[in-house]
Structure 1
Amino acid sequence: INSVSVSVPSYEEQQKIGSFFKQLDDTIALHQHKLDLLKEQKKGYLQKMFPKNGEKVPELRFAGFADDWELRKLTDITSSYSGLTYSPTDIQDTGTFVLRSSNVKNDQLIDADNVYVNPDIVNSINVKVGDVIIVVRNGSRTLIGKHAIVNEEMPNTVIGAFMSAFRGENGNYVNALLSTENFQKEVHKSLGATINQITGKDFSMMIFPTPKFEEQQKIGTFFKQLDDTIALHQRKLDLLKEQKKGFLQKMFV
C-alpha cells in the first residue's frame, strides 16, 4: 500500500467529496433496509396466509372466508406448458426472445444475458400476461423452482427448454404459492439425490391445501401488490447504486 500513489485534491475538497458520498451511501443503506424489511414482511405473510403442514386453514385470511381449504393437485388448479428447445446455431442478435433462468431474479423478470433465436424455428407458444414461469432444470440445484409472473405483454417471447410455465386465471395466486416453504419442500423432494430437474410428472404429484377461487384471487392480488412494491424499491436501489458508480467515475481523476 505504501508504494501506491494517488491523485488527491485539497483537504477542503476531500471533505466536500467525502460528505457527498456519505449522504449517497446513507440513502442507499436506507433503501436497502426498506427492501430487506419488505422481503421479510412477504416471508411472514407467506407463512401466515397459507396453511402449515397438516392444517386446513391459514393463520391469517381475509374477512368473509371461513371454509376449510381442500387438498388439490397443483395440476388441477392450473395448466402448464413446456419451453423451446434450440441449438446455438439458432441464436441471433434479434428475433424471438427466449426467457431463461438468467431472466428470473427475486421473483421478477429482468433483462440479463438475453438470448434471441430465429423465429422460423419456434414451435412453442408465446407467453402472455398472468403466466408463471419456473426454472425446472439447471446445473445449480438452488436455482430449481425459482419463478416469476409475466406482468406485461411480451410479444414474440417464449420460454426456454429448461423452463416450464403455468397458465390460468389464478396466476398471481400460483406465483405466491410457489414462494411458500411447502412448495420448496415439494421441489427438494422431487429432486432426489442426483437429478437437478423437476418434471411434469413431479408437478402432477404435488398436492397443496387450496382455497376456493374467490379467496385465491384475494390472496393473489395481495401478493402481487407486495411484489410490485418490492420491485419498485429494488429499481430505486439499483438506480442509486448506478448513480454512485457514475459519480465515482466522474469525481475522481
Structure 2
Amino acid sequence: MADQITGKAPRIRFKAHSEPWADEKIGDVLAEKRRPIVLEDDQRYELITVKRRNEGVVSRGHLFGRDIMVKNYAELKAGDFVISKRQVVHGATGIVPPALDCAIVSNEYLTAVDSERLLTEFLAIVASLPAMRRKFFLSSYGVDIEKLFFDADDWRKRNVMLPDVQEQSRVGQFFRQLDKLLDLHERKHEKLAELKAAMLQKMFPKPGSTAPEVRFRGFSEPWVEKKLKNIGTFNPKEVLPECFEYVDLESVVGTEMVGHRTEMRTTAPSRAQRLARKGDLFFQTVRPYQKNNHLFNLPDENYVFSTGYAQIRPQDDGSFLLSLMQRDEFVRVVLANCTGTSYPAITANALSDIFVLIPSADEQKKIGAYFFNLDKLIARHAAQVCKLQQIKLAFLDKMFI
C-alpha cells in the first residue's frame, strides 16, 4: 500500500509481485537491434508499415530489390518492437507478428528486442499509454504535427517505471489473452455484418427482376411494385406528452438507438415532433447515406423523435421495411431524390413517392424475422466488443503507473 501511495506500484497487481517498480532511464533498459541486409535485385522482399493509433505492424506489399530505391534496409524478426520515427506521435508503434517474420524496414524505423530489464511485449503496451505518448511528443521536433520527426536520442534520456521482467511477462500475457478475446468478437461482428450485407443482396430482387435470388420455401409469387406511401402511413400526427424521451439524429447509430434524453414539452427543441409507437420505423432524412435508421420496438409511449427522421407506420412488417431501406440500392434512389450537397436531405413527400418491390405479408414476416434476429446477433457482438474495450481501458489505467 505504501508503494501505491508513493506512486511506485500500480493499483492492481498479480499475486506474488510486491516489489516497487523501478524508475529507469529508457536508454539503459532498451535493447535496440538492427539487422542490415544487402538487397538483391531479383529477390522479392516484404515491406512493413506501422499503423497509427497503436493498431499494429502490417504489410505494405512486396517489391523486388531492384525496385527499392533506398538500399539501407534491415530485417525484422517476429516479436521485435518497432517505432515509426515519422508517425510515433500518432501512435505508430507495435510488435512484429509471426506472419511478418523476415520482413524488412528502412532506417526510418527504430527496432528493439527483449533485454534483461525490458520485454518488448510490455514495452508495446506502455507505448500505447498517455504517459509514453507524451514522451514521444516531447522527443519530437518540427512545425507541422503531421511532419514531426522523432529524436530517439532525446527519448532514450527519459524515464519509465518498470516492474521486474517476471511481472512484465505476466502483464503482457494477460493483455495478450484479452486482445485475443477482443479480436475474436470483432471478427465475429465483422463476419455477421458481411453476412447481412450479402443477404440484403440475395433476399431482395435485383434491378429488372421481380423475385430475389434466395427465398424461403413456399414462396414463388413475383414481388409487386408499390409506392412507400401505399405500404405505410408517413408522419402520423399525435399530441406529445408533457414529459418525454427525445431521440435526436445522434441518438441512432446503424439500426440501434444508442441514446435519448428527457425533455419537457414546453422547453423541448422545436424538432421534437415524432411521437413513437411500437412498430414505427424512423428513417434518417438528413445524410441518408449514413443509414442510421431505427425500428421502434419498445412498449413505451413517451419517446419522441426529431423531425430529422421520417416516421413510417408500416401496414405489414416493420423489420422487412427496415431491411429494405438499409439496402445500398434503396439509399442510392433516396440520394437521387435529395437536395443539397454537403448535407443532402430528402423530404417526407419525396420519400413516400419512391417505388419499391414488396412480397406478400407472410413473406415479409419471414424476411423481417431473419434480419431482425441477425441484427440482434450483430448488436450482441458489438456490445461485447464495447464491453471488452472498456475492461481493457480500465485495466490499462490500474495496472500501470
Q: TM range, normalised to the smaller chain?
A: 0.7 to 0.9
Equivalenced residues, count: 239
Structure with the greater relative contact order (CA < 8 A, sep ≥ 6): 1 or 2? 1
Question: 5 Å matches for 1:30-179?
Answer: 30-81=184-235, 95-111=243-259, 114-120=260-266, 124=273, 126-137=275-286, 142-143=289-290, 145-168=291-314, 169-179=316-326
Contact 2:339–2:345 under 8 Å retained in 1: no
Among 365, 368, 373, the residue aligned to 1:225: 373
| Rounded Cα–Cα distance in structure 1 between residues aligned with 2:184 and 2:391 | 15
Corresponding residue number in structure 2 for 1:247: 395
Greater percentage in helix = 1
**How far did 1:167 drift?**
1.3
- Counterparts of 2:236 and 2:398, CA distance in 1: 47
Structure 1: tracts of 5 or more residues without a match: 85-93
Q: After superposition, give the CA deviation of every residue in 1:135-169 in whole Å (9 maximum; x if it has no partner).
A: 1125xx643x4202123233421001212221124
Q: Which residue, 21, 31, 37 being the options, matches 2:175?
A: 21
Give the aligned partner of residue 91 of structure 1. Answer: none
Give the whole-Å Cα distance in 1 for the aligned partners of 2:201 and 2:225: 18
Going from structure 1 to structure 2, the CA distance change for 1:178 and 1:4 (only over 3 Å counts) comes to farther
**Equivalent residues of 2:285, 2:347 under 8 A apart:** yes
Q: Could you say which residue in structure 2 is the equivalent of 1:186?
A: 333
SS of residue paired to 1:102: coil
**Offset of residue 73 of structure 1:** 0.7
Given residue 213 of structure 1, which amino acid in structure 2 is its aligned partner? A
For structure 2, which runs of at least 5 residues remain unmatched after alignment?
1-154
- In structure 2, the CA distance between the partners of 1:9 and 1:219, relative to structure 1 (3 Å rule), is same
CA distance in structure 1 between the aligned counterparts of 2:219 and 2:261, rounded to whole angstroms? 44
Q: Is the 8 A contact 1:127 1:157 kept in 2?
A: yes
> Partners in 1 of 2:337 and 2:202 — Cα distance?
25
Give the whole-Å Cα distance in 1 for the aligned partners of 2:374 and 2:367: 11
AA matched with 2:327: T
CA distance in 2, matches of 1:29, 1:125: 39
What TM-score do you get using the length of structure 2 for normalisation? Answer: 0.56
CA-based RMSD: 2.2
| Deviation larger for 47-56 or 184-193 | 184-193
Report the AA paired with residue 306 of structure 2. Answer: G
Secondary structure of residue in 1 paired with 2:326: coil
Instruction: Quote the residue 1:235 is aligned against.
Output: 383
Query: Does the 8 A contact of 1:177 with 1:183 survive in 2?
Result: yes
Structure 1: how far apart are the matches of 2:282 and 2:375? 15
Greater percentage in strand: 2
Percent identity for Structure 1 against Structure 2? 28
| TM-aligned CA distance change 1:170 to 1:15, over 3 Å | same
TM-score, length of structure 1 as denominator length: 0.87
Q: Distance in 2 between matches of 1:12 and 1:211?
A: 64
Alpha-carbon deviation of 1:119? Answer: 2.7
Q: Which moved more, 1:179-188 or 1:146-155?
A: 146-155
- In 1, Cα distance between the equivalents of 2:283 and 2:367? 20
> Mean alpha-carbon deviation: is it higher for 54-63 or for 151-160?
151-160
